[in-house]
Chains A and B, each alone.
Chain A
Amino acid sequence: MTEELDLTGQDSDAGSEEVVLTPAELIERLEQAWMNEKFAPDLLESKSEIVECVMEQLDHMEENLRRAKKGDLKVSIHRMEMERIRYVLSSYLRCRLMKIEKFFPHILEKEKTPHEGELSSLSPEELVFAKQYMANTETYLRNVALKHMPPNLQTVDLLRSVPKPDLDSYVFLRVKERQENILVEPETDEQR
């Protein structure tokens, strides 16, 4: 019953190419994306294809379980596995939302500039969320404080006041294959 999924990968120069994944590999990729997102200090590129495929798999399995006979051991085992996958998926999306809320002006600014072969770091729903969050924050600040300020102080530059993601922060990385000749540059005095 293992089916193979068509996952449309995105290639910066060649357009889309199809990558066929087994469901197990898909879950593996979701978990990789989850761990990377958790340990990275800023928002990584959006893996909406993986999210969509996982949702599809979960819905598919849910339908099968509904049709199957009740009270079976099989059903409870399937449900347990689905709960686990759902947890990883929600945790992944929650982590991304938290970073969007934390760094929203910078993320939206990056989205405005055209991509030079770089993939978007926001899915369409996340983009809507980020824009609404920004609008709400601005309205809130205006109504609570800014409109009571003297006229020349009534604007706030969110890009400068919200801290940028710290790309110089320390991270752990795990090398998956043996690599030679990787040079990690020591910091120099000119580096801020």
Chain B
Amino acid sequence: MDAAEVEFLAEKELVTIIPNFSLDKIYLIGGDLGPFNPGLPVEVPLWLAINLKQRQKCRLIPPEWMDVEKLEKIRDHERKEETFTPMPSPYYMELTKLLLNHASDNIPKADEIRTLIKDVWDTRIAKLRVSADSFVRQQEAHAKLDNLTLMEINTSGAFLTQALNHMYKLRTNLQPSESIQSQDF
């Protein structure tokens, strides 16, 4: 899966917007949205929110976890713990990136938030790297990790699974048995 596809999934998350137009309820295949009234907050999926913002039809409200003090607490908690702590949203990375890129005027202290999220991401990826390293070294068959988000899994996943596959193949071919034949047509 590439990062773009993970972002595609993240775009289904609901965010609050304040439209400047009015529209009655729309019945999408994925669910009902609206009605839209100027000045009244309404929840829509992220893909629609970003699109409306680009057309200057709404104002975005940052999710309640996207706040400097809260993120500082999360970052410190993550740095203290050895395992992964639960994140405010399973798509925190994608939400932050999209909202800060398209709606930084609607988000207070956008740059600080960007730095804080990057710190959290770096800490978690470092933990993941250490964990993957020990997984491969000790040749475990399985590992359990809580609270990982899809983007983190995706970033390191392809490498990890391929490395483990190679190790497995090397391990299981150490003792050649009679039933294994070498290539022959």
Contact = CB atoms under 8 A, between A and B. Distances in A.
Given A169-B165, A192-B172, A24 B48 contact: no
B71 interface: no
Given A84-B8, A85-B30, 13 more contacts: A2-B27, A24-B31, A39-B1, A58-B29, A77-B48, A78-B26, A78-B28, A80-B51, A81-B28, A87-B8, A157-B185, A166-B165, A187-B171
Interface stretch (B76-84, B112-120, B153-161): B153-161
Interface in B4-57: 5, 8-9, 21, 23, 26-32, 47-48, 51, 57
B98 interface: no
Interface of B: 1, 5, 8-9, 21, 23, 26-32, 47-48, 51, 57, 141-142, 153, 157, 160-161, 164-165, 168, 171-172, 175, 177, 180, 185
20 contacts: A23-B30, A27-B30, A39-B1, A57-B29, A61-B29, A77-B28, A81-B28, A84-B8, A91-B5, A168-B168, A169-B168, A170-B164, A170-B165, A170-B168, A184-B141, A187-B168, A187-B172, A191-B172, A192-B172, A192-B180
A184 B142 contact: yes
Interface residues of A, number: 41
A12 interface: no
Interface in A127-158: 153, 156-157
